[in-house]
Structure 1
Amino acid sequence: MTKATILVVDDDVANIEIMNAVLEDDYDVCFATTGEEAIDTARSVDPDLVLLDIMLPGLDGFEVCRQLKLDPVLADVPVIFMTGLGDTEDEMRGLALGAIDYVAKPIQPAVLRARVGNHVELKRLRDKLAELAVTDALTGLSNRRQLERTLEGEWVRLCRTGDWLSVIMLDIDFFKQFNDTYGHVAGDRCIVMIAASLNRALRRMTAVTARYGGEEFVCILPGADPATAKQVAEEIRRQVNALQIPHESSKVGPCVTVSIGVASARCTGETTPERWIAEADKQLYLSKVAGRDRSIATEFEVPCLG
């Protein structure tokens, strides 16, 4: 199991050395000595837990905690305050800001080790539950909820540079007839094999693949221009055809095939991420109308304001 990362924030070097000695065998430990450095380091290393002193030069621990909890990437990282103040009011203030625990100074190694261990394990469990909530149980791909989150995030990121974003949508041809002929167990097996073929086709790409619903899949290709996206779509089709899954009820051929729609455009603030899904869906429809077992792509234009 990969070691959890602990960020220790304290301006006292002696305290840092003590905590490092206590934790280094079980965790990857990094350090910051000011509030500003703590925020920068947290954004850089994405720690699993933060041990945060209240009294810091510059931003104090309370303000650091507040800013961490406002960051969507770091909001769920548990924060344990370290204090020698022994002040109930300070403890209540820290808990109100989102801290989960306190460790009193001077540091007691056994107490520190136990509390860090408990909260790291709780975070791992929460992370696992969060992963399950956005994963399709049958295929292990992202589910529709995660796809929509990822698409939104990539669109925001790519809008900063005006880079390309491509979306591929595909559907298993005559899948209802497949289920009717071979049964739902075979249908599930077919879906799993298609999902695996998508992973093979995209293994060299920075991409997210999701089961969109039933026998439909969507792939998000950040930075992929129209030519690249079309090549990926054809590779997906080739991988699926190579499976040679028998489908005697198909009107396309003797084996399972897929129809694919591809939509590409440069990201700007003048559209929405849902536009890519809508355009890819249109191309998927055209692919089916044209006879299935093919990919049809479009490079759509984003309207310019003013």
Structure 2
Amino acid sequence: MTLTDKQSVLIVDDEPGNIQLLAGLLRDECELCFATSGEEALEIARLVAPDLILLDVLMPSMDGFEVCRRLKADPSTHDIPVVFVTARGEVDDETRGLDAGGVDYIIKPVSLPVVRARVRVHLRLKRHEDRLRASALMDGLTGIANRRRFDEVLNVEWRRAWRSREPLSAILADVDLFKRYNDRYGHLEGDACLRRVAGALDGLARRPGDLAARYGGEEFVCLLPSTNLEGATALAERMRTAVLDLRLPHAGSTVGPWVTVSVGVATAVPADGLEAADLLRQADEMLYRAKRSGRNRVEAKPLEDASAVPAAAGGA
């Protein structure tokens, strides 16, 4: 969801009448989704990522306090604000809710104007926090995601791939002989070059789950959920070609007259003995294999177990 879209609220209550009451109150304020159990709430929260959750406490199987704790323990749902809406009005109950990670506690029977007002306040705060967060997770030079954003998404997607047993692929791309480019053309032109390269790579990471980021210096990374090695390698080759097609002069390059990138690709299905960092180490090894093999090329290899991951090589 973009910051200009209508915000969304997940209402969680095992009593349909309570859901209908809150839905009638809020349907003109935001997009709504519903859950009638804690387990269903957790699943919907991961899939939909609502901007706010209105959560009952008294539910069978899993109460609202436990639901909130699990939401806050999951990186993919940790930042969703939770407002308890419940008949449990003791001080100890409210304390438990706030300690579990809730941002507010509304006691039933509710005052409808108060609920509407509080929902508006929390949605405004969430939108403001999302803007700040988006700014903090963007690379200031290139305008694409930064290393911090990539690391967060990698951890989330690794866990998701673990649950689904689907492949997760990573692409590492490095501008060839970029120090020579800076030395010859100056840092301002170097910055402009990185912006053009970032735009070319980001433009090819088109699926909703794909993420292109600046990894550091002249190095870029792309994360591709539910993508096997063949698909990731094909995209990496398109990225390599897209940078070459920019026709950015590089008179100091020994590869050719234009700016080029070397690219490494790795794919893994998460399993025992593997970590997300192993995927990146494998992509890094493939990147430096591409450089050692003459640059301006793609090298790829699947990751099968942690013992197969070599130490990262150095190079330029």
TM-score (norm 2): 0.81
Q: Could you say if the C-alpha distance between residues 46 and 285 of structure 1 is closer, same or farther in structure 2, counting changes exceeding 3 Å?
A: closer
Superposition pairs for residues 1-306 of structure 1, below 5 Å? 1-11=4-14, 13-35=16-38, 37-56=40-59, 59-84=62-87, 86-159=89-162, 163-203=166-206, 207-299=210-302, 301-302=304-305
Q: Could you say if the C-alpha distance between residues 24 and 264 of structure 1 is closer, same or farther in structure 2, counting changes exceeding 3 Å?
A: closer
Shift of 1:57: 5.0
- Tell me the amino acid that sits aligned with residue 65 of structure 2: F
SS of the aligned residue for 2:171 comes to strand
State the distance in 2 between where 1:206 and 1:74 align.
16
Q: Is the 8 A contact 1:248 1:255 kept in 2?
A: yes
SS of the aligned residue for 1:91 comes to helix
Q: Could you say if the C-alpha distance between residues 256 and 5 of structure 1 is closer, same or farther in structure 2, counting changes exceeding 3 Å?
A: same
Identity of aligned residues (%): 46
Residues 162-212 of structure 1: per-residue CA shift (max 9 Å, x gap):
654433222112212222222222211111111111123343695322211
SS of the aligned residue for 2:179 comes to helix
Q: Could you say if the C-alpha distance between residues 281 and 49 of structure 1 is closer, same or farther in structure 2, counting changes exceeding 3 Å?
A: closer
State the distance in 2 between where 1:57 and 1:229 align.
44
State the distance in 2 between where 1:31 and 1:43 align.
13
SS of the aligned residue for 1:278 comes to helix
State the distance in 1 between where 2:221 and 2:237 align.
14
Of the structure 1 ranges 183-192 and 7-16, higher mean CA displacement relative to structure 2 is found in 7-16
State the distance in 1 between where 2:197 and 2:238 align.
13
State the distance in 2 between where 1:51 and 1:205 align.
27
State the distance in 2 between where 1:140 and 1:268 align.
34
State the distance in 2 between where 1:37 and 1:168 align.
34
SS of the aligned residue for 1:120 comes to helix
Of the structure 1 ranges 156-165 and 44-53, higher mean CA displacement relative to structure 2 is found in 156-165
Of the structure 1 ranges 200-209 and 190-199, higher mean CA displacement relative to structure 2 is found in 200-209
Q: Could you say if the C-alpha distance between residues 303 and 77 of structure 1 is closer, same or farther in structure 2, counting changes exceeding 3 Å?
A: closer
TM-score (norm 1): 0.83
Of the structure 1 ranges 216-225 and 33-42, higher mean CA displacement relative to structure 2 is found in 33-42
- Tell me the amino acid that sits aligned with residue 259 of structure 1: S
Unaligned runs of 5+ in 1: none
State the distance in 1 between where 2:289 and 2:120 align.
55
- Tell me the amino acid that sits aligned with residue 218 of structure 1: V
Residues 53-110 of structure 1: per-residue CA shift (max 9 Å, x gap):
3444554443443443344433332222234565333322322222222334433232
- Aligned-residue Cα RMSD (Å) equals 3.1
- Tell me the amino acid that sits aligned with residue 274 of structure 1: A
Size of the alignment, in residue pairs?
305
State the distance in 2 between where 1:277 and 1:245 align.
28
Shift of 1:216: 0.8
Point out the structure with max Rg over C-alpha.
Answer: 1
